[in-house]
Amino acid sequence: MNNRTFRMQRRYSWYIVLTGLAAFILLGVVIYVNVSNMMINQSKNNAMGLAVIAANEIDGDSFETIQSERDDAYFDVLEKITKYMDYSMLQYIYTMRYKNEKLTFVVDADPKNPAACGEEYELLPEMEPALHGQACCDSKLIKDKWGSFFSAYAPIFNSEHEVVGMVGCDIRTSDIVDRLTRLRNVMISLITIFAILSLISMVMIAHDMLQRDQLTEISNESRLKDVAAGLKKKNRLKDYTGMIVNIKDFKYINQQIGFYKGDEILRRYAHYLSRLITHGEYVARTGSDNFLMLVKKGREDEILNVLSPLDLSIETENGKQLLHIFSRCGVYPIEEGDHLSNVTNYCTLAINSTRGKDSEDYAWYTDSMSAQMVEEKDILSNYRQAITNGEFKVYYQPKVNIDDRSLCGAEALVRWIRNGSMVSPGQFIPILENEGKIIELDFYVFEQVCKDIRRWMDEGLNPVRISSNFSKLHLKNPNLSKQVLDIVKKYNISSDYIEIELTESSGYTDFYALEKFVRDMGNAGIYTSIDDFGTGYSSLSMLKNINVDVVKIDKSFFDSLGDKKQNGANLVGNVIRMIKDLNRIVICEGVETEEQVEFLKSTECNIVQGFLFDKPLPVEQFEERLKLPKY
């Protein structure tokens, strides 16, 4: 069933149920009315038929002569009408005379309490047709102390064909009433049962609607919670593995193709996941571009192998576009005692561990991830107070010109001195960066750097150019350039002493912001550098478009040199040459051996930073280097 059909079906099922109920009630009422009319008409006809037959048997001329119960003609009529009393539905049969616009009893066959001959009887409007020669009947059922009945009347004619009286038949209707009551009760019971069933199905439809994700039509988190609770009750939740799936760069996809098409991707991806699961497995959209799957243990690899990429052809303004949808996944094999909430937490920890690592699309939960989460929380709740307390210290790692082994610059690297021990930035920078909290710290470090430079100038030391690391998150700040320049101005230091290190990142927005920032800094005479070149997204073609002054080649890029692998050495040599051809300064980071220095001398890189010369130094030790800038 496709999406649209399903949605329509869901919407109309309400109407179907309600219309069905209304139709059923209407049908019941129609059947009841028709059957009861039929039964009433039939007994009316029977009553009139009986009255007509009885009336035809009576000789009107002798009937006219009857004056009292002793007349022969009286007995004759009595005999004739009494035989009809055998008819089971007949309650009474009697004859009446019509004379001088008055109606009087003549012969009454009531065996118990017969009306006296000559006793007056009320002329009812229903009797009128009989007086005009036609059989007739009460229009309504009569209910009195003798029970419920119809009265039918048929005219008695004399030989002149004049109406001289009429036969009255009272037909008992108690069994009709009984049957109708039974029919009504059956109808009411059926309608009640149908109404209850409709109500149940409406509740089920409503429940189903509440448990489905509106956009993708697959289950939502609430449904999965119910499912997991059910499985847990049967002690079967531990047979499953939780998998959180997230579409990579979905924000970027949305920007590229628009929210409407983004929704289409979510729907198609959701249905792709639904097709991956088998009977007894579950998938739900838990919000945004996140999905949670419960798959049977042992099936994880099968699913991970086909999870990503999913190639989707999407109709856009520029025609058909083929999109490769990549995803990340956090996997947690459920253990006895787990609830869906811990499953989600563990899967989230696992998936979060893949963020920022482009090579890893999925991760299995490990206990260390929980410990890391505790550490993250600790860092996030304490870093701000730590800034105020001055627990963050700036260390300086010298940059050395290998031609003359002289100090030619330094990189400012932050350290957190916490309860007397040092926390390395590798432990807290990625956490602060993930949570968007790094901005404040970067500015703090940068201001410390400017303060130190000012002090060195005031103390007569010759400062070198100091580079400060700025997270790529700063690029989202349109006032970044102004804020940097304001701090430089505040300490009244030469822009020659300042350099800003940035890492290149993905996405056009970042690219344009980076290009503008680099231009602003260049105009102010401040150096900019691309950090960690050779990792992540940085590329030579990017260097053509962004006018940075310095390219810092990451340690990992030439780690292979230690193994004397000629291919690696050639590659590094060529890359350095190409960067130099673009008129950029090249700095190699992480230089630890003289061998590496020798190799770099053979290339066009003459500035290095690494443990061979110095580790990042506390400010006092770095000041010693400033005083004696030779190695």
Report the residue from 50, 332, 616, 625 that binds ligand C2E according to the rule CB under 6 A: 616
Chosen from ligand C2E, Mg ion, none, partner binding at 76 (C-beta under 5 to 8 Å by type): none
Q: Does 445 participate in binding ligand C2E (rule CB under 6 A)?
A: yes
In this structure, are residues 154 and 52 in contact, taking their beta carbons and an 8 Å threshold? Answer: yes
Question: What is d(CA 417, CA 390) in angstroms, rounded to the nearest whole number?
Answer: 9
Taking the least distance from each CB to Mg ion, the nearer of 217 and 499 is 499
Chosen from ligand C2E, Mg ion, none, partner binding at 590 (C-beta under 5 to 8 Å by type): ligand C2E
Tell me, what amino acid is at 217? E
Tell me, what amino acid is at 481? S
Q: Does 499 participate in binding Mg ion (rule CB under 5 A)?
A: no
Taking the least distance from each CB to Mg ion, the nearer of 429 and 597 is 429
Chosen from Mg ion, ligand C2E, none, partner binding at 534 (C-beta under 5 to 8 Å by type): none
| Nearest CA-CA partner of 284 in 223, 344, 241 | 223
- By CB under 5 A, what part of segment 508-567 binds Mg ion? 531-532
- Shortest Cβ 512–ligand C2E spacing (Å): 21
Q: Interface with Mg ion by CB under 5 A: which range of 16-24, 113-121, 141-149, 498-506?
A: 498-506
Report the residue from 407, 413, 518, 576 that binds ligand C2E according to the rule CB under 6 A: 413
Structure tokens at 104: 């009087």
Question: What is d(CA 518, CA 481) in angstroms, rounded to the nearest whole number?
Answer: 9
- Shortest Cβ 510–ligand C2E spacing (Å): 15
Q: Does 477 participate in binding ligand C2E (rule CB under 6 A)?
A: no
Q: Does 483 participate in binding ligand C2E (rule CB under 6 A)?
A: no
Question: What is d(CA 520, CA 180) in angstroms, rounded to the nearest whole number?
Answer: 95
- Shortest Cβ 380–ligand C2E spacing (Å): 16
Question: What is d(CA 294, CA 72) in angstroms, rounded to the nearest whole number?
Answer: 101
What is the per-residue DSSP string for 295-361? EETT-HHHHHHHHS-EEEEEEETTEEEEEEE-EEEEEEE--TT--HHHHHHHHHHHHHTTTT-TT-S
Chosen from Mg ion, ligand C2E, none, partner binding at 219 (C-beta under 5 to 8 Å by type): none
Per-position x/- string for 484-513, each x denoting binding to ligand C2E as judged by CB under 6 A, each - no binding? -----------------x------------
Consecutive H or E run containing 149: strand 147-157
- By CB under 5 A, what part of segment 18-47 binds Mg ion? none
Q: Does 242 participate in binding ligand C2E (rule CB under 6 A)?
A: no
Q: Does 409 participate in binding ligand C2E (rule CB under 6 A)?
A: no
Taking the least distance from each CB to ligand C2E, the nearer of 28 and 398 is 398
Q: In 10 A of CB 483, how many CB atoms? A: 13
Chosen from Mg ion, ligand C2E, none, partner binding at 64 (C-beta under 5 to 8 Å by type): none
Question: What is d(CA 191, CA 291) in angstroms, rounded to the nearest whole number?
Answer: 43
Q: Does 532 participate in binding ligand C2E (rule CB under 6 A)?
A: yes
Chosen from Mg ion, ligand C2E, none, partner binding at 588 (C-beta under 5 to 8 Å by type): none
Report the residue from 469, 528, 603, 609 that binds Mg ion according to the rule CB under 5 A: 469
Q: Does 614 participate in binding Mg ion (rule CB under 5 A)?
A: no
| Nearest CA-CA partner of 329 in 430, 248, 263, 254 | 248
Question: What is d(CA 519, CA 463) in angstroms, rounded to the nearest whole number?
Answer: 25
- Shortest Cβ 596–ligand C2E spacing (Å): 9
Taking the least distance from each CB to Mg ion, the nearer of 442 and 501 is 501
Chosen from ligand C2E, Mg ion, none, partner binding at 413 (C-beta under 5 to 8 Å by type): ligand C2E
- Shortest Cβ 428–ligand C2E spacing (Å): 9
Structure tokens at 556: 């990992």
- Shortest Cβ 438–ligand C2E spacing (Å): 5
Q: Does 108 participate in binding Mg ion (rule CB under 5 A)?
A: no
Angle made by CA atoms 488, 489, 491, in degrees to the nearest 5: 70
- The residue behind tokens 């003609």 is 73
The SS3 call for residue 216 is: coil
Q: What dihedral do alpha carbons 63, 69, 74, 76 form, nearest 10°? A: 180
Interface with ligand C2E (CB under 6 A), residue total 25
Question: What is d(CA 71, CA 94) in angstroms, rounded to the nearest whole number?
Answer: 16
Q: In 10 A of CB 530, how many CB atoms? A: 24
- Shortest Cβ 463–ligand C2E spacing (Å): 18
Report the residue from 165, 409, 534, 610 that binds ligand C2E according to the rule CB under 6 A: 610
Q: In 10 A of CB 604, how many CB atoms? A: 14
Maximal CA-CA distance, the chain: 161
The SS3 call for residue 145 is: coil
- By CB under 6 A, what part of segment 551-590 binds ligand C2E? 555, 589-590
- By CB under 6 A, what part of segment 141-200 binds ligand C2E? none
Question: What is d(CA 88, CA 269) in angstroms, rounded to the nearest whole number?
Answer: 77
| Nearest CA-CA partner of 245 in 335, 376, 344 | 344
Total length of the chain: 631
Taking the least distance from each CB to Mg ion, the nearer of 293 and 561 is 561
Chosen from ligand C2E, Mg ion, none, partner binding at 300 (C-beta under 5 to 8 Å by type): none
Q: Does 531 participate in binding ligand C2E (rule CB under 6 A)?
A: yes
CA 275 vs CA 278, 286, 508: distances in Å: 8, 18, 34
Which residues are at the interface with Mg ion (CB under 5 A)? Answer: 469, 501, 531-532, 589
Which residues are at the interface with ligand C2E (CB under 6 A)? Answer: 397, 413-414, 424-426, 429, 438, 442, 445, 469-471, 501, 531-532, 555, 589-592, 609-611, 616
